[in-house]
């Protein structure tokens, strides 16, 4: 990673606001909160100026909630609903989920047309986090029923209270999967595929849904049908998805490796579009190493295929690194031993694999010796380790000696 201004990276400037809450890191006094009018309340709470920090302070919390009550929130008023929705999110951030649920139920009841669907989806999310999948499913279905009723009442699909992206169906499908009700989950994923809108920067709704349908089909015991679905997606022959899916190609390779069908993995490389073949060949080599139980050979694939020890891996290596991490974790002790060994040897590929596996935090360090031409190269190092690496390697202390360090999100 190159940068000409490393010391400027990561610096956050606190910008003063026009309300009596000048900065996210400076809390208002109780006296200031007591003077807030409706407009200020909207700016502070909906604008997100540290409202969670206010709620964490018992004295400030009491004054804020009292002020909200004094001003009176009007059921059905969209901006007042925004205030409640922001308060609910803040309660979740400080782990006061019971209070958040209370507000979300109020939104679902009294702000039905503007916030009801979103409130039910949020309630489903809270239930899912607590492992209450039946309760999550019921909330998802409430969102589905409400959105259908709003449609019958003529509320436009892109109105604030509607679910234009079809997330209500994805919500139900996810809950049904966790309840192992596979055929119902497949039906819900298909409903999401047919109604969902694509979000910027994400896979298409159709591709994500078809991948989920293949997953559920396999879980339901129909493995041959699942392989056919993945093959159609990987080769670009799916009637519901435009173009080939690299993710489906990897999942198919993984499934074929699990069955020991090496020749079919290699044949698949020639069946996908030309632009996917190099990446898929790498994935096949990774899967073959896993099949042989060769963790070190698996890491060699990454070093040999564009991630040498002395370089930082580029963005083009993100998928194979994630795939390698997935299989190394499945190899348990042998995979972790190989990972620790390569990190100690200075392999950047192994370091990024450990990060993808969730067993290492990575930072980028500016070396003490800086080049004369003003070009700076940041090197990755281990900031913290966990899981299977915790007893195998020690964190790198280089950042404490370096002029600059940047944590990789």
Rounded CA gap, 140 and 167, in Å?
9
Q: What is residue 403's DSSP assignment? A: S
Rounded CA gap, 287 and 265, in Å?
9
| CB of 147 closer than 8 Å to CB of 168 | yes
Q: What is residue 150's DSSP assignment? A: H
Classified by CATH at the fold level, domain 8-16+23-194 comes out as 1.25.40
Place of tokens 């002395």: 310
| CB of 143 closer than 8 Å to CB of 120 | yes
Residues of the chain with pLDDT > 70, as a percent, come to 82
Tokens encoding 242: 């435009």
Tokens encoding 251: 């999942």
- 124 sits in which H/E element: helix 117-129
Complete DSSP assignment for 178-224? HTT-HHHHHHHHHHHHHH--PPTTS--HHHHHHHHHHHHHHHTT-HH
Query: Maximum distance among all alpha carbons in the chain?
Result: 74
What does pLDDT average to over the chain? 83
Write down the pLDDT at residue 368. 60
Q: Is 175 helix (H, G, I), strand (E, B) or coil?
A: helix
pLDDT digits (tens, 9 = 90+) for 124-149: 999 999 999 999 999 999 999 999 99
Write down the pLDDT at residue 397. 55
Tokens encoding 106: 């109020």
Return the closest-CA partner of residue 116 out of 137, 142, 151. Answer: 142
- Sequence spans of domains, the chain: 8-16+23-194, 202-279
More confident of the two residues 178 and 380 = 178
Write down the pLDDT at residue 66. 86
Tokens encoding 185: 């989950």
């Amino acid at each position: 990673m190159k940068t000409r201004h490393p010391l400027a990276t990561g610096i956050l400037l606190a910008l003063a606001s026009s309300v009596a809450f000048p900065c996210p890191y400076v809390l208002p006094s109780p006296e200031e909160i007591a003077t807030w009018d409706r407009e200020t309340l909207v700016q502070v709470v909906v604008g997100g100026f540290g409202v969670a920090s206010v709620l964490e302070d018992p004295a400030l919390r009491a004054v804020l909630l009292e002020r909200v009550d004094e001003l009176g929130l009007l059921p059905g008023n969209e901006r007042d609903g925004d205030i409640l929705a922001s308060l609910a999110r803040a309660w979740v951030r400080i782990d006061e989920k019971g209070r958040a649920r209370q507000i979300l139920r109020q939104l679902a009841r009294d702000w039905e047309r503007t916030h009801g669907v979103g409130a039910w989806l949020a309630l489903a999310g809270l239930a899912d986090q607590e492992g209450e999948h039946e309760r999550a499913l019921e909330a998802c279905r409430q969102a589905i029923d409400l959105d259908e009723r709003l449609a019958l009442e003529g509320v436009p699909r892109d109105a604030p209270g509607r679910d234009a992206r079809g997330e209500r169906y994805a919500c139900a499908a996810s809950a049904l999967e966790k309840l192992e009700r596979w055929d119902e989950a497949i039906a819900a994923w298909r409903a999401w595929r047919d109604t969902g809108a694509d979000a910027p920067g994400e896979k298409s709704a159709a591709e994500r849904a078809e991948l989920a349908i293949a997953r559920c089909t396999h879980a339901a015991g129909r493995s041959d049908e699942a392989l056919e679905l993945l093959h159609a997606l990987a080769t670009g022959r799916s009637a519901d998805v435009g173009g080939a899916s690299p993710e489906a190609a990897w999942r198919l390779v993984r499934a074929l490796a699990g069955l020991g069908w090496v020749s079919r993995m290699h044949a698949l490389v020639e069946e996908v579009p030309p632009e996917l073949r190099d990446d898929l060949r790498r994935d096949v080599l990774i899967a073959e190493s896993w099949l042989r139980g060769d963790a070190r050979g698996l890491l060699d694939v990454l070093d040999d295929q564009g991630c040498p020890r002395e370089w930082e891996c580029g963005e083009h290596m993100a998928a194979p690194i994630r795939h390698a991490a997935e299989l190394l974790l499945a190899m348990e002790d042998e995979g972790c031993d190989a990972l620790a060994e390569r990190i100690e040897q200075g392999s950047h590929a192994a370091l990024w694999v450990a990060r993808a596996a969730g067993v290492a935090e990575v930072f980028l360090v500016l070396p003490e010796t800086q080049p004369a031409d003003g070009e700076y190269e940041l090197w990755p190092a281990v900031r913290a380790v966990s899981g299977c690496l915790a007893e195998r390697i020690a964190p790198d202390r280089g950042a404490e000696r370096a002029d600059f360090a940047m944590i990789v999100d």
